[in-house]
Structure 1
Amino acid sequence: MLIRLLRTCLRPYKRPIALLVLLQFLQTCATLYLPTLNAHIIDRGVVNGDTGYILGYGALMIGMSLVQVVCNIGAVYYGARTASALGRDVRAAVFDRVQSFSAREVGHFGAPSLITRTTNDVQQVQMLVLMTFTLMVSAPIMCVGGIVLALGLDVPLSGVLVAVVPVLGICVTLIVRRLRPLFRAMQERLDTVNRVLREQITGNRVIRAFVRDEYEQQRFRKANTDLTDFALGTGNLLALMFPIVMTVVNMSSIAVVWFGAHRIDSGGMQIGDLTAFLAYLMQIVMSVMMATFMFMMVPRAEVCAERIQEVLDTSSSVVPPSAPVRELRRHGHLELRGAGFRYPGAEEPVLRAVDLVARPGETTAVIGSTGSGKSTLLGLVPRLFDATEGQVLVDGVEAAEIDPELLAKTVGLVPQKPYLFAGTVATNLRYGNPDATDEELWHALEVAQAKEFVQRLEGGLDAPIAQGGTNVSGGQRQRLAIARTLVQRPEIYLFDDSFSALDYATDAALRAALAQETAEATVVIVAQRVATIRDADRIVVLDEGRVVGTGRHHELMADNETYREIVLSQLTEAEAA
């Protein structure tokens, strides 16, 4: 998965990568040439007392060092730019794919995991690429070049290399094989920590209300301890890596000096050659250590790449139409024909064979007990998820065949849990229509019964809104969400229990103002309060995902037992009549 991801994402950067490899090659060649120059200075300059030779070759060494520095700076520059561009592209790709997901796919992965995959997982892959470009590219060149040059200096002494390199390779391989499952488990524990922390921050008021601080501390402590334990296990293995490598390096250095001394004593080798051989040995070992450092990062990056690719390979169940309808003849006619929806792996469908008609100029209400599928039914219209059976028709055209932008302009949804984005009142309202004027915003606020409290806010339309709208009350959030949809001015309004946080007086005033504002539009209201929907032109009663009754309030009170039970649970017989 890691190779597949990198091959795809690095394809646009072939030229910078080629230049980077060239610079690394030149830099490594300069590094490898320095010990040979040093050996010449010792054997031909120092031993013979030839100062001119020493100065000449010393100047050449300085030149090689400058080449090495310049090439290294260039390689690091291009490596950092390419790695950063890769991280940017992968984050954008993951974000775009997540934005295309329906509620089904988001629920499958979970928000904490998607956040971790978009941030931490991408960062791990980006870091691997950066280290590859700055270290790993030069490591094999230096290793092979060092071995070749060491053989050129003294073949018998090079037998030490034959023993050292395989031992290092075996040690690194054994440790890396143990690291991969630990890194996968560690990323999963990181998901858990993110999930627990997200729940505790979001549900802070509930925790305080039920005095569950100690319980939540224990939950976080457990998740944190699990992550720490796996991190320690990984760290213990990593801690073995460098002592093992350094032990092998030091033992090989001792062996080289020991055998090299005998070679010098017998006249088969010069002192400068032994010095150069030691330098090449260190370069070879350093290249192996650089590769070792990379191998430590590869298992975690590979796990992260798998998690990223899993998101990128997941297709949304809500697929854009291949030949979208870009114009609708009628305006605001909504119909569900035998519509049903079943979550993947669920034993029972949430909705079964739902028939519903909502016409312009009418208000259609949907009521039912908790879990009867009311919110799911509304979610089928703007395609938060697609019906698994039957049809959802907007102006006589299946919703799945309509251009997504046209469908978004035609259908306006006020969700059950209104969400406001960090910004201002105005930026949140213009989410429905970026070109709306201030007058249009104030008009929408007035209809939504939100004008008064917005005027009291410091800054009015420019008053700040915190992420999620946490700096305003639940009722204010609902009214701002309704105003946002009114600014959009769709032809079909879907209100998903959007008045539950309002007091009765505000609810009545809002419904009266909405009736005038949406007189020519199609309005579908999901509500728990009977008072909110009793005057609707049509009331649809849901029970366990099925339509068990359709009619006006007095008709359903007379012949529908399910509706009657719901009404009498809230009102007396006299009030219901």
Structure 2
Amino acid sequence: MIKQLLKSVREFKRDAILTPLFVVLEVVMEVAIPAVMALLIDRGIDAQDMGQIWKYGLLLIVCAMLALVFGAAAGTYAARASTGFARNLRHDMYYAVQEYSFANIDKFSTGSIVTRLTTDVTNVQNAFQMCTRIAVRCPVMLLFALVMAFRINSELALVFLAVLPVLAVGLGVLMRLVGPVFERVFKTYDRMNTVVQENVRGIRVVKAYVREEHETEKFKGVSGLLYREFSKAQKTMACSSPLMQFCMYACMLLISWFGARLIVGGSMTTGELTSLFSYAMQILMSLMMVAMVFVMITMSRASAERIAEVLAEQPDLHDPAQPVNEVRSGDIDFDHVDFSYKGEEGKLALRGVELHIKAGQTVGILGGTGAAKSTLVQLIPRLYDATHGTVRVGGVDVRDYSIAALRDQVAMVLQKNVLFSGTIKENLRWGNENASDEELQRVCRLAQADDFIRQMPAGYDTHIEQGGTNVSGGQKQRICIARALLKKPKILILDDSTSAVDTKTDALIRKAFAEEIPDTTKIIIAQRVSSVQDADQIVILDGGVVQAVGTHEELLAGNPIYQEIYEQQTRKGGEQ
């Protein structure tokens, strides 16, 4: 895990290496200061020698200034390395998510990915900075200060060795108790982010059903749980401070007691005792900082594991070694296709699909809710791979194509239409970023979107809010259809994409398709018979199985499912 995360340091390796180097130099200067102070007291002040006072006084100033310079350099390089590391980590995670297939994305909730890209990365960034500075400074300071303390008086320095095991055991117990709590905390963060996202995204529904109080209670519940978990962790970690204070004051009292006896006995000078106090403070402060590092590492370990999980997730869809880069035609063939979302044989969403569509044909797909209509068409642009059997486009297995080349020739308007914040033009140019204004207007006329766009205050430059909240459902669908047409695809898939438009507009869109893009294979998933009755083929799906394929007349004459749907919708008042 650590090795994987450290790959994101990259161009900031130099800063990450220079940081501990300057930290060590800073520690050397800080450890030298008490030793120089002892000489100043013993050889200058006690001996009443002004020459020695000036000599060691200037040396103290030099050590202090060097410590300041080295400390500032270490801080600068540490900040640059940690922020750069965090930037690269977010970059790597974001691009990893972009490479995911739908199957990979299904493993993570949106709230979880957001938490990992924000809170978790910040925790790891702080831990990385502490590891390059504090985690280096503390053991080096501890070692150097102990060496200097033993040089002054080895017997008195044994006081530190007696206290260290007590502190180490206490901190170890605290870390063991608090680790699982932090793991639960970050899972609760995921839940809270999900609650907030759902509420903000569905705020209109919340208000329409007067469910503000329910949503508030839901948020209070998860927020309260987060508070309780964090409080528990912080209360546990708060025990480290009294433990540190106890060890610190115990050391001070013991050093004072034994040091005073040694001075009276003449085996220790006042300056040496003074420097020993300084080294005691440095040793104990180092231990206290070690405790802080342990806390941060404990917190960040859970975050690091969650980040590594995103980076380690391997896309299950890959380009072949020698991919086909050209889709010759819009022919589509399903040969004995089975599909399961989790690859489990006993939970097949599609079973034994045998379907052949010629280029330029219009194919309608009908079926009840959960019939796997969307699942079927998602296999064509290889959003998922078939579990068994073969899906071919243009006579070539979709797994033999370059994924980018295949998807570039298969335009798909999904059930959940998505518009991004920006102008209508910017949203349309997702289909073709180099399209001219004339091309934009042409596809909008085909999708019956040109009229309402021109009636907007800024026309095609009208700003679309995030999620397309300032346009109606039917307008959003037509903009998304126009965006798909702009790709000039060989295959156009409309997944229930005209459900929010009236029957007249729906008919005009289908008429425009027939006249303007006759060579494009058109697959229309619909709930209305009127949307597909003019299709060359109509596919009836039921429970993931193709029950029948035929024209409107053929199915009306011989298929009970189609007959039932038709009768329900054409009965007086039944047609939508």
Query: Shift in Å at residue 453 of structure 1?
Result: 1.7
Corresponding residue for residue 329 of structure 2? 331
Structure 2 counterpart of 1:334, one-letter code:
I
Contact 1:445 1:451 survives alignment (8 Å): yes
Structure 1 counterpart of 2:568, one-letter code:
S
What pairs up with 1:11-22 in 2 under 5 angstroms?
13-22=12-21
Q: Distance in 2 between matches of 1:338 and 1:488?
A: 30
Query: Shift in Å at residue 574 of structure 1?
Result: 13
Q: Distance in 2 between matches of 1:168 and 1:5?
A: 33
Distance 1:387 1:99, change over 3 A: same
Corresponding residue for residue 101 of structure 1? 100
Q: Distance in 1 between matches of 2:571 and 2:316?
A: 45
Query: Shift in Å at residue 8 of structure 1?
Result: 3.3
Structure 2 counterpart of 1:492, one-letter code:
I
What pairs up with 1:435-474 in 2 under 5 angstroms?
435-474=434-473
Structure 1 counterpart of 2:146, one-letter code:
I
Q: Distance in 1 between matches of 2:277 and 2:4?
A: 40
Query: Shift in Å at residue 266 of structure 1?
Result: 0.8
Structure 2 counterpart of 1:176, one-letter code:
M
Corresponding residue for residue 344 of structure 1? 342
Contact 2:121 2:307 survives alignment (8 Å): yes
Corresponding residue for residue 301 of structure 1? 300
Query: Shift in Å at residue 501 of structure 1?
Result: 0.5
Distance 1:91 1:574, change over 3 A: closer
Q: Distance in 1 between matches of 2:24 and 2:8?
A: 24
Contact 1:366 1:540 survives alignment (8 Å): yes
Corresponding residue for residue 36 of structure 1? 35
Q: What secondary structure sits across from 2:133 in the alignment?
A: helix
| Residues 340-361 of structure 1: CA deviation (Å, up to 9, x unaligned) | 2112176421111112222222
Query: Shift in Å at residue 12 of structure 1?
Result: 5.3
Corresponding residue for residue 386 of structure 1? 385
What is the TM-score of this pair, normalised by structure 2? 0.97
What pairs up with 1:413-428 in 2 under 5 angstroms?
413-428=412-427
Is the counterpart of residue 396 in structure 1 residue 385 in structure 2?
no
Higher alpha-carbon deviation: 276-285 or 209-218: 209-218
Q: What secondary structure sits across from 1:475 in the alignment?
A: helix
Q: Distance in 2 between matches of 1:544 and 1:18?
A: 60
Structure 2 counterpart of 1:137, one-letter code:
V
Higher alpha-carbon deviation: 558-567 or 450-459: 450-459
Q: Distance in 2 between matches of 1:514 and 1:163?
A: 86
Structure 1 counterpart of 2:101, one-letter code:
S
Structure 1's unaligned 5+ residue stretches are none
Q: Distance in 2 between matches of 1:149 and 1:28?
A: 13
Is the counterpart of residue 242 in structure 1 residue 241 in structure 2?
yes
Contact 2:477 2:498 survives alignment (8 Å): yes
Q: What secondary structure sits across from 2:555 in the alignment?
A: helix
Structure 2 counterpart of 1:48, one-letter code:
A
Corresponding residue for residue 318 of structure 2? 319
Structure 1 counterpart of 2:551, one-letter code:
R
What pairs up with 1:469-488 in 2 under 5 angstroms?
469-488=468-487
Q: What secondary structure sits across from 2:570 in the alignment?
A: coil
Contact 2:334 2:353 survives alignment (8 Å): yes
Higher alpha-carbon deviation: 145-154 or 19-28: 19-28
Corresponding residue for residue 186 of structure 1? 185
Is the counterpart of residue 72 in structure 1 residue 71 in structure 2?
yes
Contact 2:409 2:487 survives alignment (8 Å): no
Corresponding residue for residue 261 of structure 2? 262
Contact 1:358 1:524 survives alignment (8 Å): no
Contact 1:238 1:296 survives alignment (8 Å): yes
Query: Shift in Å at residue 97 of structure 1?
Result: 1.6
Contact 1:444 1:486 survives alignment (8 Å): yes
Q: Distance in 1 between matches of 2:245 and 2:478?
A: 67
Distance 1:218 1:574, change over 3 A: closer
Q: Distance in 1 between matches of 2:280 and 2:515?
A: 87
Q: Distance in 2 between matches of 1:142 and 1:194?
A: 41
Q: Distance in 2 between matches of 1:361 and 1:211?
A: 48
Q: Distance in 2 between matches of 1:66 and 1:443?
A: 72
| Residues 328-349 of structure 1: CA deviation (Å, up to 9, x unaligned) | 3x32111111122112176421
Work out the number of aligned pairs and report it.
Answer: 574
Corresponding residue for residue 157 of structure 2? 158
Q: What secondary structure sits across from 1:340 in the alignment?
A: strand
Query: Shift in Å at residue 11 of structure 1?
Result: 5.9
Q: Distance in 2 between matches of 1:19 and 1:462?
A: 51
| Residues 110-163 of structure 1: CA deviation (Å, up to 9, x unaligned) | 111111112211111111001222322111110000000000011111121111
What pairs up with 1:477-516 in 2 under 5 angstroms?
477-516=476-515
Higher alpha-carbon deviation: 509-518 or 59-68: 509-518
Q: Distance in 2 between matches of 1:17 and 1:487?
A: 48
Structure 2 counterpart of 1:488, one-letter code:
K
| Residues 62-87 of structure 1: CA deviation (Å, up to 9, x unaligned) | 11111111111111111111111211
Contact 1:125 1:305 survives alignment (8 Å): yes
Higher alpha-carbon deviation: 256-265 or 509-518: 509-518
Contact 1:358 1:523 survives alignment (8 Å): no
Contact 2:8 2:92 survives alignment (8 Å): no
Query: Shift in Å at residue 13 of structure 1?
Result: 4.2
| Residues 460-514 of structure 1: CA deviation (Å, up to 9, x unaligned) | 2221111111121111110110010111111110110110000122212222222
Structure 2 counterpart of 1:343, one-letter code:
Y
Corresponding residue for residue 122 of structure 2? 123
What pairs up with 1:80-229 in 2 under 5 angstroms?
80-229=79-228
Structure 2 counterpart of 1:189, one-letter code:
T
Q: Distance in 1 between matches of 2:516 and 2:138?
A: 71
Contact 2:25 2:67 survives alignment (8 Å): yes
Higher alpha-carbon deviation: 171-180 or 334-343: 334-343
Query: Shift in Å at residue 230 of structure 1?
Result: 0.2
Structure 2 counterpart of 1:336, one-letter code:
F
Higher alpha-carbon deviation: 210-219 or 176-185: 210-219
Query: Shift in Å at residue 164 of structure 1?
Result: 1.7
Query: Shift in Å at residue 455 of structure 1?
Result: 1.5
Q: Distance in 2 between matches of 1:204 and 1:507?
A: 29
Structure 2 counterpart of 1:486, one-letter code:
L
Distance 1:465 1:575, change over 3 A: closer
Distance 1:405 1:6, change over 3 A: closer
Q: Distance in 2 between matches of 1:186 and 1:17?
A: 29
What pairs up with 1:283-302 in 2 under 5 angstroms?
283-302=282-301
Contact 1:421 1:428 survives alignment (8 Å): yes
Is the counterpart of residue 56 in structure 1 residue 55 in structure 2?
yes
| Residues 73-108 of structure 1: CA deviation (Å, up to 9, x unaligned) | 111111111111211222122112211222222122
Q: What secondary structure sits across from 1:326 in the alignment?
A: coil
Q: Distance in 2 between matches of 1:323 and 1:255?
A: 76
Query: Shift in Å at residue 55 of structure 1?
Result: 1.3
Contact 1:414 1:496 survives alignment (8 Å): yes
Structure 2's unaligned 5+ residue stretches are none
Contact 2:568 2:574 survives alignment (8 Å): no
Structure 2 counterpart of 1:253, one-letter code:
M
Q: What secondary structure sits across from 1:324 in the alignment?
A: coil
Higher alpha-carbon deviation: 441-450 or 274-283: 441-450
Contact 1:332 1:394 survives alignment (8 Å): yes
Higher alpha-carbon deviation: 423-432 or 94-103: 94-103
Q: Distance in 2 between matches of 1:194 and 1:6?
A: 24
Q: What secondary structure sits across from 1:511 in the alignment?
A: helix
Distance 1:311 1:6, change over 3 A: closer
Higher alpha-carbon deviation: 441-450 or 28-37: 441-450
Contact 2:185 2:229 survives alignment (8 Å): yes
Query: Shift in Å at residue 256 of structure 1?
Result: 1.0
Query: Shift in Å at residue 238 of structure 1?
Result: 1.7
Q: Distance in 2 between matches of 1:170 and 1:574?
A: 79
Q: Distance in 2 between matches of 1:72 and 1:462?
A: 53
Structure 2 counterpart of 1:417, one-letter code:
K
Contact 1:368 1:566 survives alignment (8 Å): no
Corresponding residue for residue 368 of structure 1? 367
Contact 1:75 1:133 survives alignment (8 Å): no
